[in-house]
Amino acid sequence: AAAAPSNFIRNIVDEDNRNSKWSGRVETRFPPEPNGYLHIGHAKSICLNFGIARDYGGVCHLRFDDTNPEKESVEYVESIVDAVRWLGFDWAKDGKTHLYYASDYYDRLYEYAELLIERGKAYVDSQSAEQMRATRGSLTEPGTPSPYRDRTPEENLDLFRRMKAGEFEEGAHVLRAKIDMSSPNLNMRDPALYRIRYAHHYRTGDRWCVYPMYDYTHCISDALEGITHSLCTLEFEDHRPLYDWILDELADAGVFTRPLPQQIEFSRLNLTYAITSKRKLLQLVTEGHVDGWDDPRMPTIVGVRRRGFTPDSIRLFCDRIGVTKVDSWIDMSVFEGALRDDLDDKAPRTAAVLDPVKLIIDNFPADLAEPCTAPVHPHHPERGERTFPITRELWIERDDFMETPPKGYFRLFPGNKVRLRYGYVIECTGAEKDEHGNVVAVHCNYFPDSRSGTEGANNYKVKGNIHWVSATHALPVEVRLYDRLFKEAQPDAGGRDFLEALNPDSKRVVQAYLEPGGEKMQPEDRCQFERHGYFVADRYDSKPGKPVFNRIVGLRDSWGK
Ligand code: ATP
Ligand code: MG
Ligand code: MG
């Protein structure tokens, strides 16, 4: 296997290992909230967390960070499990499955909150949400302590227990950490730890009516699981003092032993022509702008999978973009390039005509089907050859013929010679048109001594080389030509309505003709359609003997050209 690329997080792990901070143990976690399908941004976090665990002989936990009862569901949990597995990772080590749910910690989280109260480190605030916002201060103004801040531990404990018992309405009280209302860091101004919510949770049902906040839950979950390095995106940098404060207090109280997990932030992935916000992706789905979470244009993992991207190409992409602390945009062409680089070597070649027009070889015997051969892969002769017949009537691409060609056009026009790939040289004699002037058939004659791979072939020097399929043997197939979902590189930049940036031509469905043999392709088989790009047999719509294709990417980056 190739050496893992270096990044600053690996340097930290190396340093910890040198100092025996964790006695060589490396445990990371990927902590999605099951409130939507994972997207390509999550893939970066998955590759980073699971990749580090793998390379250091550690383990990465899959943890569902499920403390927002309203938005979470089993459907999302299952989709996340599938996505991480599909990307090639798992969470087992030494026979133990490291799959966790923050909701399994509710009892302990509650118990530790009582402990903080007893130690004078947390209090029940009975101000309204508006009052709390108004007294929080700003970056230039310190906050104002709540009038309830000096309640005694006994009073706080009593109120907190009654919050849990369901005696109060939502919003009547919150539990807050007692830290510092004049801290320059707003996250340290007595942040909320628990709120009252009468909501059904997809796992704990109606058992709880107080739910812990993200910041409180996250660090404790990490410590309970023995996480060594807790990797998260940069927006949590300002939350790190709170992460450390909570764990320090609980270590002082004897709940956890030191060293405590270390939070390390890295820059999130922003990908041009895509959106990486679950909320906005959900909006695309619910408003019907796409055909579901797994629409091949969606930057979700299920979407890029259905589009035809491979797990290898996604891991390659994540390696290439690296991990830094500087927010930036990665161009979509980098993602597409990783797919091409992965499939160029793997994908078998085949011919497909996407915009067909008839080519009639007038001097070719009408009842002859002469076998032609071509390599399955031009750089891998060991993969064998494919055989397909040439016949009198073929399908070729409509734009491989022009009645009056512009300068530099070397394909078919009256009087010009081209080679039919793996077949014969032909000379165009003209075209038939319908009453609207549309070309309905192109005519030509072939040179029987010009067959590819024979001596005679060398006597013909032609500049054009076009692909074709036999009109009598080709397989008619549906092909979906996908393009980028957005017209703008940064569809949601600057608070703009990203829906206005939708590309109206992002999906085109055509009836194409495929080289015979294509009927054997199975769902998720990928191939290169020569001269066109990489295609996949759709995992859901392909039927035995009747594949339906999605274009993954073209052969080269032609966006905007
Ligand atoms: P969204 O804002 O789309 O809802 P999120 O960050 O709230 O995303 P989580 O389910 O909490 O979604 O994310 C799980 C993990 O994936 C977190 O550790 C988060 O930092 C990471 N992550 C989310 N989006 C990105 C991204 N664009 N690039 C890198 N990591 C990401
Ligand atoms: Mg989140
Ligand atoms: Mg979010």
CATH number, domain of 526, equals: 2.40.240.10
With tokens 């967390």, the residue in question is: 49
Q: Which of 237, 266, 295 is the last residue of a domain?
A: 266
The pLDDT of residue 226 is 98
| Same domain (yes/no): 79, 112 | yes
Q: Is 33 annotated as a binding residue?
A: yes
| Same domain (yes/no): 304, 318 | yes
> Ligand 1: which of 233, 270, 278, 279 to mutate, most ligand atoms within 8 Å of CB?
233
| Same domain (yes/no): 462, 513 | no
Give pLDDT tens digits for 50-68: 999 999 999 999 999 999 9
Catalytic site residue from 29, 178, 278, 551: 278
Q: Which residues line ligand 1 (CB under 6 A)?
A: 31-33, 41-42, 44-45, 65, 232-233, 268-269, 276-278
Whole-number Å distance, alpha carbon 370 to ligand 1 midpoint, is 56
| Same domain (yes/no): 50, 98 | yes
The pLDDT of residue 5 is 60
193, 195, 201, 206: CA torsion to nearest 10: 120
| Same domain (yes/no): 169, 317 | no
For the record, the structure tokens of 186 come out as: 């707003």
Catalytic site residue from 268, 398, 507, 531: 268
CA distance 214 to 403: 67
CB neighbourhood size of 535 (10 A)? 30
CA distance 90 to 5: 21
| Same domain (yes/no): 427, 490 | no
Q: Is 294 annotated as a binding residue?
A: no
CA distance 208 to 103: 10
Whether residue 35 lies inside any domain: the answer is yes
Whole-number Å distance, alpha carbon 422 to ligand 2 midpoint, is 54
Q: Classify strands 370-375 and 385-390 as parallel, antiparallel or unpaired.
A: antiparallel
- Pick from 193, 198, 187, 31: nearest CA to 101: 31
The pLDDT of residue 561 is 40
Whether residue 384 lies inside any domain: the answer is yes
Whole-number Å distance, alpha carbon 215 to ligand 1 midpoint, is 15
Find the domain containing 216 and state its range: 8-266
Whole-number Å distance, alpha carbon 223 to ligand 3 midpoint, is 22
Decide: residue 3, CB within 10 A, 0-12 exposed, 13-18 middle, 19+ buried.
Answer: exposed
Q: Which ligand is nearest to the CA of 45?
A: 1
Q: Is 44 annotated as a binding residue?
A: yes
Angle, in degrees to the nearest 10, between helices 214-225 and 106-118? 110
| Same domain (yes/no): 38, 71 | yes
Whether residue 561 lies inside any domain: the answer is no
Catalytic site residue from 10, 25, 33, 427: 33
> Which residue positions in the chain have pLDDT lower than 70?
1-6, 558-561
User: In ligand 1, which atom is closest to the CA atom of 32?
Assistant: 10
| Same domain (yes/no): 402, 439 | yes
- Pick from 61, 65, 62: nearest CA to 106: 65
Residue 537 host element (H or E):
strand 533-537
The pLDDT of residue 427 is 98
547, 36, 323, 22: CA torsion to nearest 10: -120
- The overall pTM is greater than 0.80: yes
- Here the CATH number for the domain that contains residue 165 is 3.40.50.620
The pLDDT of residue 328 is 84
| Same domain (yes/no): 99, 184 | yes
Whether residue 99 lies inside any domain: the answer is yes
For the record, the structure tokens of 434 come out as: 């319908």
Whole-number Å distance, alpha carbon 159 to ligand 3 midpoint, is 31
Active site residue 488: no
- Pick from 124, 497, 541, 551: nearest CA to 307: 551
Whether residue 272 lies inside any domain: the answer is no
Please name the residue whose Cα sits nearest to atom 18 of ligand 1.
232
Please name the residue whose Cα sits nearest to atom 23 of ligand 1.
42
Q: Which of 443, 467, 491 is the last residue of a domain?
A: 467
Please name the residue whose Cα sits nearest to atom 14 of ligand 1.
32
CA distance 295 to 87: 18
| Same domain (yes/no): 481, 445 | no
For the record, the structure tokens of 40 come out as: 């390509």
The pLDDT of residue 1 is 41
CA distance 41 to 337: 17
- What is the torsional sign of CA 315, 317, 322, 326? negative
In 253-308 the beta strands, taken as DSSP E runs, fall at: 262-266, 269-271
CA distance 393 to 526: 28
With tokens 């966790």, the residue in question is: 100
The pLDDT of residue 504 is 94
Q: Which ligand is nearest to the CA of 235?
A: 1
Whether residue 21 lies inside any domain: the answer is yes
| Same domain (yes/no): 163, 204 | yes
The pLDDT of residue 560 is 45
User: In ligand 1, which atom is closest to the CA atom of 268?
Assistant: 28
The dihedrals phi and psi of 282, each to the nearest 5 degrees, come to -60, -40
Give pLDDT tens digits for 315-366: 999 999 999 999 889 999 999 999 999 999 999 999 999 999 999 999 999 9
Q: Which of 436, 467, 498 is the last residue of a domain?
A: 467
CA distance 311 to 148: 53
Secondary structure of 417-468 as H, E, C letters: EEEECCCCEEEEEEEEECCCCCEEEEEEEECCCCCCCCHHHHHCCCCEEECC
Whole-number Å distance, alpha carbon 33 to ligand 1 midpoint, is 8
Active site residue 315: no
User: In ligand 1, which atom is closest to the CA atom of 33?
Assistant: 10
Residues whose CB is less than 8 angstroms from the CB of residue 45 and which lie 6 or more positions away in sequence, other chains included: 30, 231, 233
Q: Is 39 annotated as a binding residue?
A: yes
Judged by DSSP in three states, 195 sits in: strand
The count of C-alpha atoms lying within 13 angstroms of the C-alpha of 422, restricted to the half-sphere facing its C-beta, is: 23
Number of domains in the chain: 3
The pLDDT of residue 559 is 53
Residue type, 273: Y
By the 8 A CB rule, do 376 and 333 touch?
no
* End-to-end CA, the chain: 37
Whether residue 88 lies inside any domain: the answer is yes
The predicted complex's ipTM stands at 0.96
CA distance 462 to 144: 83
> Ligand 1: which of 44, 45, 67, 281 to mutate, most ligand atoms within 8 Å of CB?
45
Whether residue 273 lies inside any domain: the answer is no
CA distance 261 to 151: 32
CA distance 227 to 356: 58
Q: Is 233 annotated as a binding residue?
A: yes
CB neighbourhood size of 7 (10 A)? 17
Active site residue 268: yes
| Same domain (yes/no): 343, 361 | no
Q: Is 311 annotated as a binding residue?
A: no
- Pick from 373, 357, 351, 358: nearest CA to 479: 351
